Amino acid sequence: MTIELDLRDEFAVLRINRPEALNALSFSLIGDIGEAIDRAGASDARALIVTGAGEKSFCAGADIKELMDRPLAEQKRGAELGQAVFSRLDRLRIPSVALVNGYAFGGGCELALACTFRLASPNARFGLPEIKLGLIPGYGGTQRLPRLIGEARALELIMTGRTANAEEALRLGLVNRIVEPPLLDAAFAFAREFSSHGLLALQFAREAVQRAASTTLAEGLRAEADLSTLAYRTADAEEGMKAFIEKRKPVFKDT
Tell me which residues are annotated as active site: 110, 130
The number of CA neighbours under 13 Å toward the Cβ of 91 is 10
Q: What SS3 class is residue 1? A: coil
Separation of alpha carbons 5 and 16, rounded Å: 9
Contact 117, 97 (CB under 8 A): yes
End-to-end CA distance of the chain: 35
Separation of alpha carbons 161 and 245, rounded Å: 53
| Phi-psi map region of 106: left, alpha, beta (phi>0 left; psi -120 to 50 alpha) | left
Helices (H), 43-191: 64-67, 72-91, 107-114, 141-149, 151-160, 166-172, 183-191
Question: Which of 241, 223, 243 lies closest to 233, judged by CA?
Answer: 241
Residue 93 burial (C-beta neighbours within 10 Å; 0-12, 13-18, 19+): middle
Question: Which of 58, 144, 136 lies closest to 103, judged by CA?
Answer: 58
Separation of alpha carbons 23 and 114, rounded Å: 17
Give phi and psi for 253, each to the nearest 5: -125, 15
